[in-house]
Structure 1
Amino acid sequence: MSESDHSHGSGKVTHPSSSSTVSKPDFHPALAISNIKNHIPIVLEMEKDLHGTWAEVFRIHACSHWLLLHTIPTKDKTSPADISSAEYEQWTTLDSTILRWIYFTISTDMLTTILEPDSTALGDWNRLADIFQDNQNARSVTLEQEFSNTHMEDFPDVAVY
Structure 2
Amino acid sequence: MTTETPPTSTTPSITLESKIYHATTVSNTKNYVPIILEIESSQYVTWATLFKINYKAFLVHDHLSPKPHETTTASSTTTQPNEDWDRLDAIVLEWIYSMISIDLLHTIINKTASAYDAWKAIEDLFQDNKGSHAIHLMHKFSNKRLDSFPNVLAYFQELKVLADQLANVNAPVDNDRFVLQ
TM-score range, shorter chain: 0.5 to 0.7
List gaps (5 residues or longer) in structure 1: 1-6, 13-24, 147-157
Pick the aligned partner of 1:80 from 58, 70, 89.
70
Distance of 1:80 and 1:107 partners within structure 2: 34
For the pair 1:62 / 2:55, whether they are aligned, the reply is: yes
Instruction: Pick the structure with greater CA Rg.
Output: 1
Which protein has greater RCO, CA pairs closer than 8 Å, 6+ apart?
Answer: 2
Aligned length: 129
State the TM-score, normalized to the length of structure 2: 0.61
**RMSD of Structure 2 on Structure 1 (CA):** 3.1
Pick the aligned partner of 1:34 from 19, 22, 27.
27
- Contact 2:33/2:51, CA 8 A, preserved across alignment: yes
List gaps (5 residues or longer) in structure 2: 1-7, 140-176
Residue 17 of structure 2: SS of its match in structure 1? coil
Give 1:138 shift: 2.9
Residue 94 (structure 1) aligns with: 88
Pick the aligned partner of 2:116 from 91, 109, 122.
122
Greater helix content:
2
Distance of 1:49 and 1:142 partners within structure 2: 9
**1:31–1:37 Cα change, 3 Å:** same
State the TM-score, normalized to the length of structure 1: 0.68
Give 1:140 shift: 4.1
